[in-house]
Amino acid sequence: MIKLIVSDMDGTLLNEEIELSDENLAAIKDAQAHGIHFAIATGRDYQTGYTIVQERGINCSFFGLNGAIGYDEEGNRLYTKNLKPSTVQTLLDVLDRDDVHVNIMTDKGVYSTNYEREREYLRHVLSDINKTLAPERLEEKLDLFLEQHSITYLDNFQELIRRDDEEILKVSAQTTAGEEMLTELKDSLLQAADDIVITASSAMNLEINHKDATKGFAVATYARELGIDHTEVLTIGDNINDLSMLEWAEHGTAMSNAAPEAKETAAYETGSNSEHGVAQIINRVLAGEIY
């Protein structure tokens, strides 16, 4: 019997308009009404992630920045898994290239060093995740995303690294140089630091967290606190940063728009994010087809 459902956001719960559809909303509320726990596990931070579901009337636990930080249903922080300052400096040294843009996410906000590059690369990432989004709508969503993120722009990241009142939870690197370049960067980063894990939320980025900061860790920890076994958990995702939770849960589910690696890892496949795939798989659970 499924007792816990955990969903990714971009490319999964959110449709091509980067919105929570009425169909997905209804299915989640129906699941909760049947006593099934629901939670979010996303690469987004709390501000830009939880707000979307909260505004639609969903209260749930939230695991952000790929599992580096967790919140309960009341918005209370449960834990953080931060990167050491020395590790962050090592990462920045490796990523110091003209064709790579970096931003840093902490427990207090998002930081970048260049607005134009931030906007350019975010445009590429959003269009990669939401391939059917019309160009004019993409620009509107981009403006909204940047407004919601409240990104702080710094001359460099050195002051941020030295702060003792802020925890660095994720370093994100974006490039349009292609898959070979990303593979080269990933190999170099893993050789330089042994306390990290590297995933991705699109074909144009790398997301670097503490080695214990994964969605799989977050879901496993949450399930254990609820007294729920992995055989009673269904997870839903579409990309590389979802692999750990798709593998951990017995009922891992990939979207039809998911990366090949996600489909290979998952036990089930559902419709795309534009077809309300989250609602489809939840309705199968409620109908007793998956248990």
Domains of the chain: 4-81+213-287 (3.40.50.1000), 85-210 (3.30.1240.10)
Residue 263 binned pLDDT confidence (cut-offs 50, 70, 90): very high
Is 80 exposed, middle or buried (CB count within 10 Å of its CB: 0-12, 13-18, 19+)?
A: middle
pLDDT at 66 exceeding the cut of 90: yes
Q: What percent of the chain has pLDDT over 90?
A: 85
Q: pTM score > 0.75 for this model?
A: yes
Is the confidence at residue 126, as pLDDT, over 90? Answer: no
Tens-place pLDDT, residues 216-249 = 999 999 999 999 999 999 999 999 999 999 999 9
pLDDT at 176 over 80: yes
Summarised one tens digit per residue, pLDDT across range 91-111 is 999 999 999 999 999 999 999
196 or 131, which is more confident:
196
